[in-house]
Amino acid sequence: MSDAPLKDIRVLDIATFIAAPFCGTVLSDFGAEVIKIEQPGEGDSLRRFGTMTECGDTLVWLSEARNRQSVTLDLRTTEGADLFRRLVAVSDVVLENFRPGTLEKWGLGYDELARINPKLVMLRVSAYGQTGPMREKPGFARIAHAFSGLAYLSGEPGRTPVVPGSTSLADYMSGLYGAVGVLIALRHAEKTGEGQVVDIGLYESIFRILDEIAPAYAKFGYERERMGPDTVNVVPHSHYETRDGAWVALACSNDRMWERLTTAMGRPDLAQDERYARPKARADRRAEVNGIVATWVGSLPLTEVLAACERAEAPCSKLLSIADIFRDPQYAARGNLETVEDPRVGALVLPAALPRLSRTPAALRSTGPALGSDSRAVLGDLLGVDGETLDALAAKKVI
């Protein structure tokens, strides 16, 4: 990837699980050199999180630790910390997600590392961020979903709140925001020679995407409750079951879409009916409007519902299962599923990288590596550590 846009960026990933490491995945997809630094003997817990494969690592690891080199290094030892400092001196980015204060206890906090490399950018992802009264509390994505307000909104009215699709959503969103922050910070460092810290709390990445929930409460005191598949302010904008047991999503975000849907339903009169003609009127009659649409959808098989909506250009989709996705021609045409050969488990199908760039596309070069598979190459080639020293470090379990 000699023309990869991030090929000159070296990233040290000392984080675990998904949140901060996913930033590295995004950067590595576009050519950044990502060196995964793991605890000797055990490695990242992500290796054991998810569906286990015959190589001893999970599918989650093989997918999300892709395009990396694996180096084992015990940062808690004097020798390990010294080697890490030497790596920092020749790197651009450090990704970490320890509890705030942990790296400082090891003498590896940002201030210490910035004295070695003033241009260093450090992404710090933690449950609640580096400041505030809860900064030292532990947390995972599920906790972030609860604290951000997302879990409260997920599910049917009056029922147990449910998992919002994926228990790792906050991890992935924090990794994405982390990648944006790192790229901004690298741009600043390029212009000024000054690095900086990118500080993200897991809950913040989710809270940020909850549309108008904050201003609506601040201005009107409106506390949104669980609405099942429905959407606040917009009706019909929900999921409906077809006669043959499939489910479809219909989106009517404005009056034009409502008019198109009523045409698909063979009821264009509904678009002119003052009871349903405007968004607020439809929202005020939510149950009635949803009932009309549900009755129509429920009277037809999936293929006829989709065909009617397509003719009227009314936004509609079947709720796809993963089996549907693997058969879908749109996914195939866009290359959203990419098959790669892993030397340890054979062929794997992984989600393709995003975003799609026209001149410098991403590349999936390798899946998640075996623990420590690149330790000697990286420490030897990059730092000039000789074989005898590496043997001694291995014997002491520093690497």
**Element at 248 (helix H, strand E):** strand 247-251
Return the sign of the alpha-carbon dihedral for residues 365, 369, 373, 376: positive
Query: Which of 171, 199, 230, 342 is flagged as catalytic?
Result: 171
Return the sign of the alpha-carbon dihedral for residues 322, 328, 331, 335: positive
82 given a catalytic annotation: no
Write down the H helix ranges in the chain: 19-29, 59-64, 78-89, 102-105, 110-116, 141-148, 150-153, 169-192, 202-207, 213-220, 255-264, 269-272, 279-284, 286-298, 302-312, 322-327, 329-334, 375-383, 387-395
Tokens of residue 39, six digits:
């605890």
Relative to beta strand 93-96, strand 10-13 is: parallel
Q: Tell me how far the alpha carbon of residue 213 is from its chain's centroid.
A: 22
Count of residues for the chain?
A: 399
Burial class (CB in 10 A: 0-12, 13-18, 19+), 285: middle
Tokens of residue 338, six digits:
């990419």
Q: How many Cβ atoms are within 10 Å of 387's Cβ, its own excluded?
A: 9
Burial class (CB in 10 A: 0-12, 13-18, 19+), 254: exposed
Active site residues: 171
